[in-house]
Structure 1
Amino acid sequence: MRVGVLLYPDPVTLTAPPRLLLVHAHPDDETLTTGGTIARYAAHGVHVTVVTCTLGEEGEVIPEGLRGLAVDAADQLGGYRVGELRSACAALGVADHRFLGGLGRWRDSGMAGTGANAHPRALVAGDLDEQVAALETIVREVRPQVVVTYDANGGYGHPDHIRAHQITTEVVSRVPDIDRFFHTVASQGAAATGVRALSELPDLPFRLPEPGELAVVPDEIITTAVDVSEHLPAKLSALRAHATQVSVWQSGNGSDSYAASYALSNGIAQPVLGREFYVLAAGEATGVETDLFGGLFDGRDADAQGTR
């Protein structure tokens, strides 16, 4: 089958494509941290499911002409971001997108310590058991071999990212047929290299980050670096789809791995890197260095209904 030949060095017998499920807190998170990974595996025939926990209603709006959507104005940003997310998923090749509990069930909780944390539909104010049950239903239906979400700090401490970690971790502990569970992280070394390269590019419209300003982890804890360099055009298209939240810039040198940058509403430049990074939280580590699925299908069926 074509999937095995493309993804793995030795042909394998698959009765169904490999399945990857990612749990993210808000629209745009799927692209910011895992967009290249999604595009790579989708292009190779993997069935990719993205679960988004909220509509991102509390996000700050970058374009002046759309600021009336914000929570302190019309409070219509969540619905608008649904459209952005659909466009981004199409650019990345996502086969299956779900909202946790259904569209609009849980609301963006905002940053820690804000009044939005107490909104009756805020994700962090919601019933954890209900949220776990909603994700467990999806996971048991999709039957992914690999699941991805954030680490215990949610990457940078956002309450919804932390709750997504808690929900997903509990579901992974309940569902026996998940082979690997990963945390998406940012590499300290790769980020530093990317920022240095950005500092040498002319006309960068964003300010460079100060030391310690980007949320990164030490390289020694990273278990997996997925090469997404061939899929950066898809990631950049998806980043542009999230126009209320993300500004994208590219220099004229398309051959430069660090010729693209994005910034959130804070205007801090972040490099668009040719690799995305993960920490294996559970599962067999053999073969994970460059591939979330590495070594999983040697001598056995990829279908959850087959031999496990």
Structure 2
Amino acid sequence: MTAPDRRLLLVHAHPDDETIGTGATMARYVEEGAGVTLVTCTAGEMGEILVPELEHLAADREDKLGEHRRGEIADAMAALGVTDHRWLGGFGTYRDSGMQWHADGYAIAADTVHDNAFSAADLTKAANDLVQVVREVRPQVLVTYDEFGGYGHPDHIQAHRVAMYAAQLAAVPSYRPDLGEPWRIAKIYWSAMSESRMREGLRALRDAGDTTSFEGMDPDGPLPHFVTADEHLTAVVDGTAHAEQKMAAMRAYPTQITLDGPFFALSNNKGDSVWGEEFFRIVAGEPGPVGGDGLETDLFAGLDV
């Protein structure tokens, strides 16, 4: 089978992360015929369970949430049209590390972690698991998190480290030839949330009388760490035509995302653009041609593919 000319690799920490941040992008490139490969680093075993009748799956009870979320992500990928989904190192190799909230509103490591917690994994071993994928898929574009993992979750930070390190190792001709032929990824992006879009969305929520969604966030005040100043953004992918696919994929995660929660509230009050337009920062490679707002509109822009 011939590989698609354009190939995109995304590295995310837990099931649902990929949909929230990059779901519309994934759906758009699938429709355009690009190869879209998702690597998920853990099964999200330590996630909060929002469905009361499934609370028995929690880590401190039956500890079967990871297997359940395995089914959720399969449903989400079906909604987005993604057919190439992989678990880093194989399902269950790395476990969700868990987290707790710092008083300043960002995630930090939990007090105790499991023996095979992803955040404590050997960086070279985990990177090698991804090197093998990179050399097989041979993507021109890689998408992952920034160095803070968006909001500080230790698994997001580790996913960033693993993705960035694997991209370097995969390109070295003399490094681990047993993992495949060397491949240099032409462009690497970190996913981002536009400050101006977030403020617009919050303002729409507050104007509609919603004071509980994204509680504590002021449209005109300081915003959380996962929000990126617009001047640092490089690209925007317009996936508004696929916003309903993204919403369907989000609905595939009932243990993690509630239908009356902030994500859906924001969509209801702001329309498709709030979740259909997804933003990125380029960190390796050269930006291609830009649109009217000074941002690339295609992650493959400037590449000869």
TM-score (norm 1): 0.82
Equivalent residue number for residue 132 of structure 1:
127
Residue 146 of structure 1, CA deviation: 0.3
Cα distance in structure 1, aligned partners of 2:239 and 2:93: 33
AA in 2 matched with 1:287: P
AA in 1 matched with 2:199: A
Equivalent residue number for residue 232 of structure 1:
243
Q: Which moved more, 1:225-234 or 1:207-216?
A: 207-216
Equivalent residue number for residue 194 of structure 2:
187
Equivalent residue number for residue 281 of structure 2:
279
Is contact 1:223-1:278 (8 Å) kept? yes
SS at match of 1:49: strand
AA in 1 matched with 2:232: I
Is contact 1:116-1:122 (8 Å) kept? no
Is contact 1:195-1:208 (8 Å) kept? no
- Consecutive unaligned residues in structure 2, runs of 5 or more: 100-107, 172-183, 291-295
Is contact 1:201-1:259 (8 Å) kept? no
SS at match of 1:247: coil
SS at match of 2:275: coil
Residue 274 of structure 1, CA deviation: 3.0
TM-score (norm 2): 0.83
Residue 207 of structure 1, CA deviation: 5.4
Cα distance in structure 2, aligned partners of 1:56 and 1:213: 26
Cα distance in structure 2, aligned partners of 1:158 and 1:182: 19
Residue 114 of structure 1, CA deviation: 1.4
Equivalent residue number for residue 9 of structure 1:
none
AA in 2 matched with 1:188: E
Which residue among 67, 80, 92 is the counterpart of 1:92?
80
Q: Deviations over 1:164-222 (max 9, x none)?
A: 00011111122332110000011111111111112233678745442345420111100
Residue 63 of structure 1, CA deviation: 1.4
- Consecutive unaligned residues in structure 1, runs of 5 or more: 1-13, 261-270, 303-308
SS at match of 2:45: coil
SS at match of 2:95: coil
SS at match of 1:220: helix
Equivalent residue number for residue 65 of structure 2:
77
